């Protein structure tokens, strides 16, 4: 499907699953529905579909693969791109200091939908990420997991530095690791 439609497609699949369960065509909840979308397909062009699916309470896990820009189309800025960041559409240099807007707090936006499970994780900390995926898929109703990951090309670092770079984002609290379970925050 088109990546901006990921949440809408998941909503349709979840609705079809419930309809089949009502007609005894399958057991309710037999199939876990997991959606993966990048930050562009989540923070920007897919936000409307995601917001609607969260508000309606569709039972699926939405995972945002957040590398802070449209990396697959040439490192273009997105709503996830931090203030001052250098991208091809917000270049830093003599004419500009980089992206002029602050990044959206997509995790807080998901929390604002009052869904059962919302969390932030990072690709370099696998135990925490695995635990949060397990908790998200165990919750009843929609779950949102925002996972910070890098793009060595877009971020301008050697691939082997990925854990160090991502852990620095966590340690500096640029990307705090937390979860919100039924409205309760845990850092």
For the stretch 47-95, pLDDT in tens is 999 999 999 999 999 999 999 999 989 999 999 999 999 999 999 999 8
State pTM to two decimals: 0.94
Stretch 150-159: mean pLDDT? 96
Query: How far does CA 89 lie from the centroid of its chain?
Result: 22
Instruction: State yes or no: pLDDT of 31 exceeds 60.
Output: yes
Q: Which residues share a beta bridge with 35?
A: 62
Average pLDDT, the chain: 94
Q: What percentage of the chain reaches a pLDDT higher than 90?
A: 86
Edge-to-edge order in the sheet of strand 143-148: 34-38, 61-66, 143-148, 117-122, 178-181, 184-186
User: Can you give the pLDDT at residue 156?
Assistant: 94
Give the pLDDT band (50/70/90) at residue 30.
Answer: low
Q: What percentage of the chain reaches a pLDDT higher than 70?
A: 97
**Residue in the block written with tokens 């189309």:** 73
Instruction: State yes or no: pLDDT of 26 exceeds 80.
Output: no
Contact 39, 68 (CB under 8 A): yes
Q: Which residues share a beta bridge with 147?
A: 65, 121
**Residue in the block written with tokens 């379970």:** 181
Q: Return the DSSP state at 40.
A: I
Instruction: State yes or no: pLDDT of 29 exceeds 60.
Output: no
175: closest CA among 86, 66, 87, 50? 66
How far is the CA of 64 from the CAs of 26, 106, 132, 144, 158, in angstroms? Answer: 29, 9, 13, 8, 23
Q: Which residues share a beta bridge with 65?
A: 38, 147
Q: Return the DSSP state at 157.
A: S
User: Can you give the pLDDT at residue 24?
Assistant: 80
Instruction: State yes or no: pLDDT of 28 exceeds 80.
Output: no
Q: Which helix (H) or strand (E) holds 35?
A: strand 34-38
Q: Return the DSSP state at 70.
A: B
For the stretch 4-17, pLDDT in tens is 899 999 999 999 88
Cβ neighbours around 99 below 10 Å, total? 22
Comparing 27-31, 112-116, 138-142, 172-176, the range with the smallest average pLDDT is: 27-31
């Amino acid at each position: 499907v088109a990546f901006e439609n990921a949440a809408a497609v998941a909503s349709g699949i979840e609705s079809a699953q419930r309809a089949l369960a009502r007609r005894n065509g399958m057991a309710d909840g037999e199939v876990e529905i997991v959606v993966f979308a990048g930050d562009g397909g989540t923070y920007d062009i897919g936000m409307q579909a995601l917001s609607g699916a969260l508000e309606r309470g569709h039972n699926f896990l939405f995972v945002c693969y957040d590398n802070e820009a449209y990396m697959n189309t040439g490192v273009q800025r997105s709503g996830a791109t931090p203030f001052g960041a250098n991208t091809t559409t917000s270049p830093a240099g003599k004419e500009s200091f980089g992206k002029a807007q602050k990044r959206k707090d997509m995790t807080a936006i998901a929390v604002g939908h009052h869904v059962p499970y919302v969390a932030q994780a990072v690709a370099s900390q696998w135990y925490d990420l695995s635990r949060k995926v397990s908790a998200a898929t165990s919750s009843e109703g929609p779950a949102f997991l925002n996972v910070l990951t890098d793009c060595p090309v877009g971020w301008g670092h050697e691939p082997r530095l990925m854990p160090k770079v991502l852990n620095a984002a966590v340690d500096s609290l640029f990307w705090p690791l937390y979860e919100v379970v039924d409205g309760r925050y845990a850092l």
